[in-house]
Structure 1
Amino acid sequence: MTKTFGDRIAVDDVSFSVARGEVFGFLGPNGAGKTTTVRILGTLIAPTSGSAVVAGIPLVPANEAEIRRRISIMPEAPGLYRRLTVTENLEYFARLYGLPGRQARIREALDAVDLGDRAQDLCGSLSKGLRQRVALARTLLNDPEVMFLDEPTSGLDPVAAHEVHGLINTLRQRGVTVFLTTHRLDEAERLCDRVAIMNTGLRTIGRPDELRHMLFSRSLAVTTAAPLGDPDRIFAGLPAVESWRDAGTPTAVPAGASAATPSGYVVAVSDPARAAPAVTRALVAAGADVLSITESRYSLEDVYLELVEDQEGAAR
């Protein structure tokens, strides 16, 4: 799928699939084409070329109304009428969908986001975080098969964000597909079955742990109380050890470290479970005071920065 605006390419030949009941993270810097992709899949704009299927329905003009009945979209801006109450806002949107049993649906949606006691408050009197929760309630009204959530926890305090995460997990269990656009990489790592990283084109897609292993070699982070006299003699030839490098003085020194300057080493390994015992024995045999040996951990943020910065560097 491709979308251009004049001479500018917003979405460049992007192809992917999302499974039913999956929480799918859509990540990328500002201007990467994330919102444009969501607007296409949400029937708001047409692609320049390519095709898509949403909720099992081909994305063509004749099917747009049926697709809209089966999906919901929560944009980053809540889009609520501030002079109407919470209930009046939800009633308005429920009528647009032509939904039966509107009052029951509204009560269920408000209970799901813990706003039942604010039902008669004017939306203009609510904080940004509470308005975000009203917008979430709106997306639940039509019991959608697919939900597009754009920054759903933006402006929420940690407790409210945790509640939204719980709601997303509940939707997953019900078989609802959640298409999540977020800049909070820790949130994506916690919630998403798979993530796609966009920067106009699709940079990569997969489970967070798959992407970490694809981009980063496995390694052990070793900290000793003082620099090793001959690290190459200690590390060379050990089982599952491929190479090592000096990491200098660690930024975080384990509690109980001596007054001497601690030293850190990164040991590239093929199998941490095999390498760690061998490295430990070799250090002890060499008389080193070992402060810590841990497997290096890379986050989704590390993956994101590696991919995006590599592309920006290539562009320059």
Structure 2
Amino acid sequence: MHTVAVLALPDTIAFDLSTPIELFGRVRLPGWRPGYRVLVCAAEPVVTAGPLRLATDHGLDALARADTIVVPGRNDPASPTPAAVLGALREAMARGTRIASICVGAFTLGAAGLLDGRRATTHWAATERFRTAFPAVELDPDVLYVDSGQIITSAGATAGIDMCLHLIRRDHGAAVAADAARLAVAPLHRDGGQAQFILRARLDSAAAGLGQLLEWIEENAYRDLSLDDLASRAAMSIRTLNRRFREETGQTPMQWLNGVRIRQAQELLETTDHGVDRIAHQVGFTSPTNFRAQFKRISGVAPQAYRTTFRG
């Protein structure tokens, strides 16, 4: 039987820890046979998980018996990882054991050196910290999970469910995975990635130096605005405006304008029954076709798929 070892680190995120325990632990094969043996192991017999204290039955030696190791995130991903844990993960990697991380659990894999030169993902909010800590990793913050074969990393929180269902499908096929998804009341596959969830947070976190202009753009995004219009409103040359936007937002003025329009479209898709073409014109796009292309580029999914995900 396939053995999954879930690694409980100090101050582990309880949700991340419970996700693989529940999903793998409830998988049933034909004849009602269990699909996995799930072990929870730790370097110490008792670990914290936010406000909880958890007793574990297995030590790090259980990792040597595992076919898959799952590493949940920690509330402070930058906290030092016990040397014994890092060593055990490196040994497991050398044995060919499959290793997966949930959310900021990628920091633990990064600290063990398992992600160098590989494509990986983590929670979008930890992107810059991760890139600073592990520059040798090819980080993709917009996807729900990355499967590079032996190493699998997933994004924040519920993306761990997507990853576990993906691994169940790898191990036992689509029918068993679909049954696990139904039991978890979760979709077997979700369209898009983290981008559809984080646009608003990215916009809201912009620097305040252009505050008045950004507020004006919010209020006037529905108009047919040009770069000249924005520069005139800011009382700057186009060159200066472009430089300021790059410095303070990391985008060009027109990229920012498109982002505002897409965010406003997201709100209309969530809160109204307006058709997609009508929403495109409401937020300032003269071409519904261009709107659909820009929406998918920025959000990662088509407008109707976004509405299906987020509408009530």
With normalisation by structure 1, the TM-score equals 0.33
Instruction: Between the two structures, name the one with larger relative contact order (CA 8 Å, sep ≥ 6).
Output: 1
Q: Report the structure number with the largest CA radius of gyration.
A: 1
With normalisation by structure 2, the TM-score equals 0.33
Which structure: greater helix fraction?
2
